[in-house]
Amino acid sequence: MDLSELVAGLDVTFAANRGTACRVCDITEDSRTAVPGSLFIARKGLKADGKRFIQDAAAAGAVAVLTDDPDLTPPPGFRLPILFAANVPLVSALIAERFYGHPTRALKLSGVTGTNGKSTITYLIHQLMNHAALRCGLIGTVLVDDGTEIARASMTTPPALELSRTFAVMKEAGCCAASIEVSSHALDQHRADALAFDVAVFTNLTGDHLDYHKTMDNYAAAKARLFELLLASGTAIVNADDPWTPRMVRDCKARVWKCALNAAPNEADPAGPDECRATVIEETMQGMLLAMEGPWGVIEAQVPLIGRYNAMNVLQAVAACFAKGLTREQLCAGLPELQAPPGRLQKVSRDDADDIAVFVDYAHSDDSLRNCLASVAKVIPGRQHGGSLLRNAAGTYRASPLPTRLGGGPATGRLWVVFGCGGNKDTTKRPRMGAAAIAHADMVVVTSDNPRSERPSDIIDQVLEGIPLDQRDRVTVQADRGRAIRHAIEHAAAGDVVVLAGKGHENEQVLAGPDGTLVKVHFDDSQQAKAALDARRAPAAGRR
């Protein structure tokens, strides 16, 4: 594409006019990947300033440079145009989408944002669309499906160049839709500004990433950016139960569907045209029976996910898919086949071989940890006999008895949690996570997550600040995460449930090496748990 055509109409000026007639055949922000014909975007990142590498890019064949420095000149020995933009991240996103032929205009694109639930909802949308034989791509924290292959993701929302490139691959591969997690960092950094969203989903907003955003208002403003980007012809699907929802849709021009969880279906009060409701009729360790009401009518389906928060996730995924064109019949067919994403209440124990249940979950904020533990506690056999809705012969519902409180009566299964907090991240949530753990689990093992350059003991001490002294007898501290996992699985009694929280799908741990530099070592919660479960089975096998 001709350079002048690529930047036409954008807020770009030629800072050093060395001739603008050149053809761009590639765009890159990394001088090491520059090739003949590249437009090199030289902007300051978190670790380095791209302007330092302009000469390397030019030597590799770059034909133009985009920068935020109006006084920048070409490196010695090179004659190439220097383009100036006051907002390089925004202009880069617009250029990328234009260069790759505006692929998102050809895809029914849904973006999901919020503190918790993004990965699950995008993953559920991806499954429901593909089950209906409508090829759907996926970009998320766990996986990327570009229509040609499924690979592990390296970050929640990639840079703008990578986004548009991936959407172009999806389009060429025959995808008609795509589902993407949109992080607050990505929205704040304009990575998604050029994308054509048909559907935007807001899950919830709780304290997280305040090391970056500083205040909850800033955090909310970043999330709300998705709904400002939403096409006027699109659909905003929001959590009606979250107090930040009005802020999300304040400047949204699209129609808004509000999603809520009901205590019980109410035929005398049907959902309005912009309302979506879900009711958890029954919960077990194997899943939920859900009744969902919305523009699609009424759907009752058995879904193999557990947890009230997953009921909301399923409801919002159903609403998003219906907005993208799926029929009620297609939704009904796909719901029983759903699976949770890797590391999202992923069961790693075996019902036919293990006398305890072990789950791996990505919960790494106090709100997500609280929701995760509360959801698992409700379905532990013998721990409680309530929290579900029972349907009588007349077809109406009544609530079964409330769950037994911790310490309030006999229970055959205790709930264990093993968790830590990441280093060099938001420190304010550490005591809150300790409080959430002790409030919802019977036995708590505090350990490391990704300590990075912080001392694990310092992080653990801050977690313990949230746990009252008179509750410490239910707490074990083991900084080594592998040993912490083995401790919980070895000491759990038959019928107990162990939740390994914080790392989910991640397969490495980041910590300081002997010289203080950060190193990454292989570490997978599910692999550690399976090894501990194998060891637990061995003595039992010997006794037989």
Can you give the CATH number for the domain in which 17 is found? 3.40.1390.10
| 425-445 per-position pLDDT tens digit | 889 999 999 999 999 999 999
Q: Do 414 and 495 fall within a single domain?
A: yes
Q: Is the pLDDT of residue 327 over 80?
A: yes
Write out the E strands in 4-153.
13-16, 26-28, 38-42, 64-67, 82-84, 108-113, 136-139, 143-145, 150-152
Does one domain contain both 84 and 128? Answer: no
Please tell me whether residues 245 and 329 are part of one structural domain. yes
Question: Any idea what the CATH number is for the domain that residue 321 is in?
Answer: 3.40.1190.10
Sign of the C-alpha dihedral computed for residues 44, 48, 51 and 55 taken in this order: negative
**Looking at the domain assignment, is residue 74 inside a domain?**
yes
Q: What confidence tens digit (pLDDT) does each residue in 136-167 have?
A: 999 999 999 999 999 999 888 999 999 999 99
**Inter-residue contact 82 to 74 (CB < 8 Å):** yes
Q: Last residue of a domain, which of 30, 64, 88?
A: 88
As a whole number of angstroms, the distance between CA 287 and CA 379 comes to: 9
Are 5 and 30 a contacting pair, CB within 8 Å? no
Instruction: Based on the fold, state whether residues 308 and 386 are members of the same structural domain.
Output: no
Asked whether residue 94 is assigned to any structural domain, the reply reads no
Residues 237, 203: Cα–Cα separation, whole Å = 9
Q: What is the pLDDT of residue 374?
A: 93
Of 125-139, 227-241, 385-399, the least confident: 385-399
Whether 162 and 303 map to the same domain: the answer is yes
Percent of the chain residues past pLDDT 90, beyond the cut: 78
**Identity of residue 531:** A
**pLDDT at position 540, please?**
66
Query: Residue 263: its pLDDT value, please?
Result: 66
- Among 43-57, 174-188, 233-247, name the one with the lowest average pLDDT: 43-57
Greater pLDDT, 459 or 273: 459
DSSP-derived secondary structure letter, 49:
B
**pLDDT tens profile 250-296:** 999 999 999 999 866 666 677 778 999 999 999 998 899 999 999 99
The model's confidence at residue 454, banded by pLDDT at 50, 70 and 90, is very high
Q: Kindly state whether residue 412 falls inside one of the protein's structural domains.
A: yes
The total number of structural domains in the chain stands at 3
Contact 496, 414 (CB under 8 A): yes
Shared-domain flag, residues 286 and 306? yes
Q: d(Cα 68, Cα 96) in Å, to the nearest integer?
A: 17
Structure pTM? 0.84
CATH number for the domain that contains residue 506: 3.90.190.20
User: Distance between CA atoms of 318 and 299, rounded to whole angstroms?
Assistant: 10
Provide mean pLDDT across the span 368-374.
Answer: 93
Higher local confidence (pLDDT), 206 or 390:
206
Domain final position from 285, 314, 337: 337
pLDDT reported for residue 206:
86
What is the pLDDT, as a whole number, of residue 385? Answer: 37
Domain ranges, residue 63? 3-88
- Is 96 a domain residue? no
| pLDDT beyond 50 at 174 | yes
Same domain, 381 and 500: yes
Q: What is the mean pLDDT of residues 160-179?
A: 98
Tell me the average pLDDT across 182-192.
Answer: 94
DSSP state of 293: E
Predicted local distance difference test score (pLDDT) of residue 236: 98
pLDDT given at position 543: 53
Lowest mean per-residue pLDDT among 46-50, 448-452, 536-540: 46-50
- State whether 200 and 235 are in the same domain: yes
Same domain, 138 and 254: yes
Is residue 97 domain-resident? no
If asked whether residues 265 and 139 sit together in one domain, one would say yes
Which residue among 285, 311, 337 closes a domain?
Answer: 337
Q: What pLDDT score does 387 carry?
A: 36
> Is residue 437 included in any domain, yes or no?
yes
Q: What is the mean pLDDT of residues 72-76?
A: 85
Distance CA 163, CA 196 (A): 12
Burial 99-127 (b: 16+ CB within 10 A, else e): bbebbbebbbbbbbbbbbbbbbbbbbbbb
Answer for the pair 91, 85: CB distance below 8 angstroms, yes or no: yes
Give the single-character DSSP code of 340.
Answer: P
386 pLDDT higher than 90: no
| 332 and 352 share one domain | no
What is the distance between the alpha carbons of residues 156 and 185, in angstroms, rounded to a whole number? 10
Give the least confident one: 19-23, 126-130, 365-369, 382-386: 382-386
| Average of per-residue pLDDT values in the chain | 90
| Tokens, residue 405 | 């409180």
- Structural domain contains residue 371: yes
- Tell me the pLDDT band of 405, cut-offs 50, 70 and 90: very low
Does the pLDDT value for residue 394 go beyond 90?
no
- CA 504 from chain centre, in angstroms, equals 11
Q: For residue 20, what pLDDT is reported?
A: 65
Task: Mark whether 84 and 115 lie in a shared domain.
Answer: no
Whether 95 is in a domain gets the answer: no
pLDDT over 70 for what percent of the chain? 90
